[in-house]
Amino acid sequence: MTTLDSTVDYDVLIPNNVALASDARVRRGLERWHPGYIDWWMDMGPDGFQTSDVYLRTAVRVESKGADKWAVFDYVKMPDYRWGILLAPQAEDRTIPFGRHVGEPAWQEVPGEYRAMLRRLIVIQGDTEPASVEQQRFLGKTAPSLYDMRNLFQVNVEEGRHLWAMVYLLQKYFGRDGREEAGELLRRRSGSDDAPRMLGAFNEETPDWLSFFLFTFFTDRDGKMQLESLAQSGFDPLSRTCRFMLTEEAFHMFVGESGVTRIVQRTCEAMAAAGMDDPSDVDAVRALGVIDLPTIQKKVNLHYSLTLDLFGSELSTNSANFFNAGLKGRFREHRLEDDHRLLDATYGILEPSNGARSNGGWHIVQHPALNALNARLRDDFTDDCNLGVGRWNKTIRQTGVDFEITLPHVAFHRQIGVYRDLHATPDGEIVPEDEWSRRRHEWLPNDSDRAFIESLMKPEFRPGHYASWIAEPRIRINHKPGDFEWVKLAEA
């Protein structure tokens, strides 16, 4: 079967649209990697549901034309899911859009002088994909509905496919080094003492469903920002890979934003039904069997600040080198109106006015834009997050409850970059370390908060039913009815 650029060949062990049948070396390498991947999935994928039939989508095209759908839906046992290699169609005469090589033809092979940098970018991106599956592997057992369970598993299998995408690039373009790196991606484990995942946020636990929804809202949004930047790459196979991954990533963020919306909605509805108008009366709200809004705010503070650290230091020579080399651009580089080289440009970073240990306010310091690329991408991320937060607050306002969810100050609870030695409140006030330690549980979840959320995590596996702390969804997958059996649970 001849594989076209936009269609996917499913008549082979490893589905693909890259003519893998004619590339014996890479095909053999991926076929040897495949059993290890399945072993990893069985060990570290969703625990307890590997034999259940799940209503999942599978990509059959990498672009839509007219009424054609790019994916089909059907019941699948997750270990039988058809993971594969999917690249967006190649753009004819594409040129490098930024850096010192701007305007030159995009590379179809790895440029030798950038081999190490490019491999590092692919490995770091690849490492995040299995990590999130590992972090979420026990959540199915406390799913608030079959609908939410199905969405969790859809996110999981697509993160697995994104791992395949990076492994293909490693094996196709980096020879023995790439094969070794592909093996390491299966060896590392989220939270492991001996072989942890490469980025700190991907070694944190995801212990409950509010954490999961905030992870997919914030951390998958970081993934979107990184993929958008890599989609600008002058290395065309990486660009094409990330462009299709973004199609799937949009659903992951939808799961997070809509999940938090439904939690907020249910809380406000329960308060209104009980005649309550004070969201700060935490114990009274919790007695209704819902998650109080101040605790949701604490969880927002935690997940947002952890995700900000994923962007790295605000000033970074590595990011400057990636940009100069044409390997990783800015968010939506193709929409920006400048010279795309940044040789004389500057970018402002918020810094304390009178040093780290005083509270003299904040001011903007201009730095070379090339060195401040991480800061710019992080600011783009914050702007994108605020759109979703605004929709959460619209839901609250519609119920008449007086409360507003906000993102904390950029310096709050930071472990990396220019803010790491500061003790800043969510409002941006710099306080002494002992005061911050004494008050931290005003701003971040404490043991009592975590225990309460955990107490609500009881499974609801009846079709059409939802846990008491979350509202029904307004939009269902593939227009299915409310009592649809999203997951057919295997007999014990």
Nearest Cα neighbor of 221 from 342, 49, 386 is 386
Q: Is residue 14 part of a domain?
A: no
Contacts of 181 (CB under 8 A, 6+ apart): 119, 122, 123, 126, 170, 174
The model's pLDDT over 376-395, given as tens digits with 9 standing for 90+, comes to 999 999 999 999 999 999 99
Is pLDDT above 70 for 67? no
More confident residue, 183 or 353: 183
Q: Is residue 11 part of a domain?
A: no
End-to-end CA distance of the chain: give it in Å, rounded.
41
pLDDT at residue number 66: 47
Query: What letter does residue 350 receive in the DSSP assignment?
Result: E
pTM of the model: 0.95
Cα–Cα distance, 312 to 225 (Å, whole number): 13
Is pLDDT above 50 for 2? no
Contact criterion met (CB below 8 Å) for 369 and 347: yes
Cα–Cα distance, 206 to 179 (Å, whole number): 30
Place of tokens 């834009």: 369
**CA torsion sign, 253 to 370 to 165 to 193?**
negative
Is pLDDT above 50 for 475? yes
pLDDT at residue number 394: 97
Mean pLDDT of the region 363-381:
97
Q: Is residue 298 part of a domain?
A: yes
Q: How many domains does the chain have?
A: 1
Q: Is residue 75 part of a domain?
A: yes
Q: Is residue 4 part of a domain?
A: no
The parent domain of residue 343 ranges over: 20-488
The model's pLDDT over 135-144, given as tens digits with 9 standing for 90+, comes to 999 999 999 9
Is pLDDT above 90 for 64? no
Q: Is residue 106 part of a domain?
A: yes
Point out which residues pair with 57 in neighbouring strands. Answer: 73
Q: Is residue 15 part of a domain?
A: no
Point out which residues pair with 72 in neighbouring strands. Answer: 58
Is pLDDT above 90 for 465? yes
pLDDT at residue number 3: 39
With helix as H, strand as E and coil as C, how does 223-254 read? HHHHHHHHCCCCEHHHHHHHHHHHHHHHHHHH
Length of the chain: 492
Q: Which three-class secondary structure state does DSSP give residue 470?
A: coil
pLDDT at residue number 47: 97
Q: Is residue 6 part of a domain?
A: no
Query: What letter does residue 216 receive in the DSSP assignment?
Result: I
pLDDT at residue number 361: 85
Mean pLDDT of the region 53-74:
83
CATH of residue 233's domain is: 1.10.620.20
Contact criterion met (CB below 8 Å) for 209 and 148: yes
Contact criterion met (CB below 8 Å) for 487 and 460: no
